């Protein structure tokens, strides 16, 4: 009961305070540097941007601000994590935004739960991704070549409204990619990390909880995953209980701002749960700003002195 009361007070504060104090909705870039063993030279410094949960109609920043933020990040590849529209009437506008995002760079995306129950036109969605040289991946893998090195993107269906098929996704894998990045809409699929064989699994769906009491977990999250998995960076280890340990949580990452956080991939596969850029039924975010995730690939053997590292 106390959490319901706290949540209601925070919602009221979030609705009133911006009007009184002139606060604006600010998109935050979380910059992750992945140190990868035996990373081929053509992949040194490769940049990937991840954006999830557009929820067009409840997008928490103006579309032009999102486009500008992605342009400033200068990613070599853009990855989109599903849930593109907040309602059926916004499907057309969401498609136009995806086309705009994909126009300047190869863009790969997956399906979220809303694409299933809004019956998003998959052919139109696939064509939007293909416009920039990318693809819509539904239990599929696609390799992208950079000179003589390859990065592989594995895209899974939504675990709740769709049907995940890891075997089908890996059937399209050539197995010789130097780096594997997997996409799935919800962290409810975290158990698939080991089977995927990816360095990093990227998720959304949670919106970070949207409402975060200072220093605490989100009081309201989906029931398909623990509250601690609502946002942040995690590492999987089969011999540990629980096998998914938090490496860098919501508050640590928020405190970093846009300063890079470095993490090694060698100790085990990683999962990042993004706060996304849209909102849910309650159109409010408190201490949980919308997020663009910028991932930079770096070799493991030339770490800069004093760089900030996340620790298990």
pLDDT the model gives residue 9: 47
Asked whether residue 197 is domain-assigned, the answer is yes
Rounded average pLDDT over 183-197? 94
Provide the whole-model pTM. Answer: 0.91
Q: Can you read off the two tokens belonging to residue 196?
A: 């995927």
Contact 205, 213 (CB under 8 A): no
Asked whether residue 21 is domain-assigned, the answer is no
pLDDT the model gives residue 303: 62
Confidence class of residue 51 from pLDDT cuts 50, 70 and 90?
very high
Asked whether residue 71 is domain-assigned, the answer is yes
Asked whether residue 14 is domain-assigned, the answer is no
Asked whether residue 13 is domain-assigned, the answer is no
Q: How many independent structural domains does the chain possess?
A: 1
Residue given tokens 């949540």 in the structure block: 7
**pLDDT per position as a tens digit, 130-146:** 988 999 999 999 999 99
Asked whether residue 289 is domain-assigned, the answer is yes
Asked whether residue 160 is domain-assigned, the answer is yes
SS3 content of the chain, % helix, strand, coil (to 5): 30, 25, 45
Collapsing DSSP to helix, strand or coil, 10 comes out as: helix
Contact 231, 206 (CB under 8 A): yes
Collapsing DSSP to helix, strand or coil, 99 comes out as: helix
**pLDDT per position as a tens digit, 194-243:** 999 999 999 999 999 999 999 999 988 877 778 889 999 999 988 888 88
Domain of residue 95, CATH code: 3.60.21
140-146 and 135-136 beta bridge pairing: unpaired
Confidence class of residue 74 from pLDDT cuts 50, 70 and 90?
very high
User: Chain-wide mean pLDDT for the chain?
Assistant: 89
Asked whether residue 6 is domain-assigned, the answer is no
Rounded CA-CA distance 225/168 in Å is 25
Domain around 154: 27-299
């Amino acid at each position: 009961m106390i959490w319901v009361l706290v949540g209601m007070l925070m919602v009221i504060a979030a609705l009133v305070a911006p009007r009184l104090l002139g606060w604006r909705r600010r998109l935050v870039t979380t910059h992750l540097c992945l140190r990868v063993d035996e990373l081929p030279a053509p992949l040194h410094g490769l940049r990937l941007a991840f954006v999830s949960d557009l929820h067009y109609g409840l997008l928490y920043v103006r579309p032009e601000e999102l486009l500008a933020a992605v342009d400033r990040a200068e990613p070599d590849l853009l990855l989109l994590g599903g849930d593109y529209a907040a309602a059926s009437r916004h499907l057309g506008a969401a498609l136009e935004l995806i086309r705009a995002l994909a126009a300047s760079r190869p863009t790969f995306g997956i399906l979220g739960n809303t694409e299933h129950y809004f019956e998003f036109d998959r052919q139109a969605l696939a064509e939007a991704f293909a416009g920039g040289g990318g693809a819509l991946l539904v239990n599929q893998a696609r390799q992208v070549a950079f000179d003589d090195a390859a990065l592989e993107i594995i895209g899974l269906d939504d675990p709740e409204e769709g049907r995940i098929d890891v075997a089908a996704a890996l059937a399209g894998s050539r197995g010789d990619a130097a780096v594997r990045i997997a996409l799935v809409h919800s962290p409810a699929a975290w158990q698939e990390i080991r089977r995927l064989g990816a360095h990093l699994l990227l998720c959304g769906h949670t919106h970070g909880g949207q409402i975060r009491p200072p220093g605490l977990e989100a009081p309201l999250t989906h029931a398909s995953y623990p509250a601690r998995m609502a946002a942040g960076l995690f590492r999987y280890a089969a011999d540990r209980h629980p096998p998914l340990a938090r490496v860098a949580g919501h508050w640590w990452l928020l405190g970093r701002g846009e300063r890079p956080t470095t993490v090694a991939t060698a100790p085990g596969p990683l999962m990042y749960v993004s706060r996304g850029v849209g909102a849910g039924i309650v159109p409010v975010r408190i201490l949980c700003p919308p997020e663009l995730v910028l991932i930079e690939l770096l070799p493991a053997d030339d770490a800069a002195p004093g760089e900030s590292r996340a620790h298990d």
